[in-house]
A = this chain, B = another copy of it.
Amino acid sequence: MPGIAEVRSFNRVVTREIGALADRFLGRDRSLGASRLLFEIGPAGSEIRRLRARLGLDSGYASRLLRGLEAEGLIRSFASTSDARVRLVTLTPAGRKELAVLNRLSDEAAASLLNRLTGSQRTSLISAMHTVERLLLASAVRLHLENPRSRAAQSCIARYFEELAARFEAGFDPTLSIPVAAEELTPPRGCFILATLHGEPVGCGALRCHAACGEIKRMWVAPSARGLGIGRRILQRLEELARRRRIPLLRLETNKALSEAQALYRSSGYREVSPFNDEPYAHHWFQKRLRTRGR
């Protein structure tokens, strides 16, 4: 495959140069792990289990690092009021100050890198970095079948509904929309695809199967993860699942406010058709005929 050598060369160079930058904030008398933790806690505080998940830390190791920061007087920890097993940590004023210092050092390291370049080199570096970053994230996104009742699925659906409420002219009240029961999105009656980035849900999409057609529902991508082609990947996966079930036709409806969704559907081969249901929040109805040959 072309590109492998380029990727490897990139890896070598970047680990070396970025490593050199990262060294800068050693020199505070704190380990890299503790500094990363301080960054991850952030000004707003966080649950410990969330920190562990995001940094991929062993529970014992995380606990020790946190106790170290607590001994330094940088953080405070206390039990969550809603679930006393979960502990929360927040920065103390001293912790906020230290985080500000780390941020300043990081800024300076980045600036010193940029300073060694000419203006046009700087511009192209920044834009290329942005591209690499987005595409690396895109390649780290995983799709998997999920039970629509799971916590992750429910949180996606909730955020999806929130967004609909904010974007639809008339707001959005799920009870007025055509209902979709969880069982209808669970095999064998349908399926629910969850997209995750480092374990965090960043998008979803569902398929409800009828005798003669399938319906695409719950297509949503988190705002932070847009532009990575996740929506298209979810849609393709759902279509593949529909093909395996020998469903010949896919249908979906959408609101006029969701212009990027319409663009996705159109560019994925969906054609607008006359309304096939009386969904009160829909303005556009689409369908796509599937080739059910092959597996």
CB neighbours (8 Å) of A2 from chain B are 126
Task: Select from chain B the residue with minimum beta-carbon distance to A15.
Answer: B18
Q: Mark A100-129, 1 if CB is under 8 A from B, else 0.
A: 000000110011011111100110111111
- CB contact under 8 A between A10 and B117, given known A15-B22, A111-B4: no
Q: Is A50 close to B, CB under 8 A?
A: no
Q: Which candidate, A134-142, A165-173, A280-288, is the interface stretch facing chain B?
A: A134-142
Q: Could you tell me which A residues sit within 8 Å of B by CB distance?
A: 1-4, 6-11, 13-18, 20-22, 106-107, 110-111, 113-118, 121-122, 124-133, 135-141, 198, 229
On whether the beta carbons of B229 and A118 are closer than 8 Å, the reply is: yes
| Copies of this chain in the oligomer | 2
Cα-based distance from A129 to B107 in the complex (angstroms): 22
CB neighbours (8 Å) of A110 from chain B are 3-4, 7-8, 11
On whether the beta carbons of A117 and B139 are closer than 8 Å, the reply is: yes
CB neighbours (8 Å) of A7 from chain B are 110, 113-114, 126, 129
